[in-house]
Amino acid sequence: MATIPTLNTASGRVPAFDILEPDDIAVPFVFCSPHSGHDYPQQFLAATRLSGDAVRRSEDLFVDELFDFVPSFGAPLIRARFPRAFLDVNREPYELDPKMFADTLPDFVNAASVRVAGGLGTIPRIVAENEEIYRDTLPLSEGLRRIEDIYKPFHAALETLLKRTHQRFGLAILIDCHSMPSTVRALPGGRRPDIVLGDRYGTSAAGRFVAMATARFTELGYDVARNKPYAGGFITERYGRPPIGFHALQIEINRALYADERAFQRHDGFPILRERLCRFVEGLSDDVMAEYIRPAAAE
């Protein structure tokens, strides 16, 4: 694995992301938490117009902690420590908003995406609730530096983990872990699901895996929706290649299950949810190993 870049924070230099490795790779899964980082670079804090907790409103609160047990089941977890407000690796590498930068953007930039228009490009313009992040425009060199120094190493590491898993099992399933606001847009009938599974409308993962995941969450008592209102972002789209044995499934967890999202604090539901996620991962691993791996190994 390549050297992991660092961030200069108020508490010193820290890794830009962590890779929690199992003692042995025992299951064909890789877990990713790209939006739960909360180590804010000093240079970023000096440039933002937001104060206190306002800048944190884009975080997937504690999602990295909810899933930090997965190495005990034989799967790695890659988790961002840089905040989503600083850099969003669940976007194309160059989804940049020309209004944010003091310089003209290069031709290779995708400045016309829907995500850029909404202020949520690779270098976000806003945090949740549409609050502008920066006081002034940024030098283009700063945006490109974040992409070269952190975005690209993060994706290189994730791709390495997936290829290693695929080489071991002939199959790799990426579980991309996120959280959604408790005020998530209601589905027809006013329903606000506990869990949303996103497979890019059937293109990023085999339907059988999605059915297995849905069944396991349902057995645990959760209301599960598929693709609405979250079908998966760039990571799911980029790494889900079912015809060649790479599958990607996004999991969105309703924050009301485990946290007071306004106070940025866990509540009593946190240990309950974490224990049930352990059971989910154990059950899904058993399902996949029994149906896809062990029969092939016995041939």
DSSP string across 25-46: --SSEEEEE-S-----BHHHHH
Confidence of residue 71 (pLDDT cuts 50, 70, 90): very high
Among 119, 109, 287, 280, which Cα is nearest to 194's? 280
Q: Looking at residue 299, what is its pLDDT?
A: 52
- 144-156 pLDDT, tens digit per residue, is 999 999 999 999 9
297: pLDDT confidence band, cut at 50, 70 and 90? low
Q: How do residues 228-240 score in pLDDT, each as one tens digit?
A: 999 999 999 999 9
Which helix (H) or strand (E) is 199 found in, with range? none
Q: How far apart are CA 255 and CA 18, in angstroms?
A: 23
Averaged confidence pLDDT in the chain: 95
Please say if the pLDDT value at position 74 is more than 70.
yes
Radius of gyration of the chain (CA): 19
- Looking at domain 6-250+262-298, does it have CATH number 3.40.630.40? yes
User: Distance between CA atoms of 299 and 292, rounded to whole angstroms?
Assistant: 12
> Whole-angstrom Cα distance, residue 81 to residue 160?
19
Task: Kindly state the DSSP code that residue 115 receives in the 8-state scheme.
Answer: H
Sign of dihedral through CA atoms 115, 37, 213, 221? negative
CB neighbour class for 15 (10 Å; exposed up to 12, middle 13-18, buried from 19): middle
Residue 25 has pLDDT above 80, yes or no: yes
Reported as a single tens digit per residue, the pLDDT across 82-108 is 999 999 999 999 999 999 999 999 999
Output 190 or 177, whichever has higher pLDDT.
177
Predicted structure pTM score: 0.96
Share of the chain above pLDDT 90, in %: 90
Q: What is the pLDDT of residues 101-128, one digit of tens each?
A: 999 999 999 999 999 999 999 999 999 8
Domain layout of the chain by residue ranges: 6-250+262-298
- Is the predicted pLDDT of residue 213 greater than 80, yes or no? yes
DSSP letter, residue 73: G
pLDDT confidence of residue 295:
67
Residue 2 in this model has a pLDDT that exceeds 90: no
Name the H helices within 26-139. Answer: 42-47, 63-66, 114-117
Cis peptide before 242 (omega within 30 of 0): no
Which pLDDT belongs to residue 185?
75
**What average pLDDT does this structure show over 158-182?**
97
* CA atoms within 13 Å, Cβ hemisphere of 52: 5
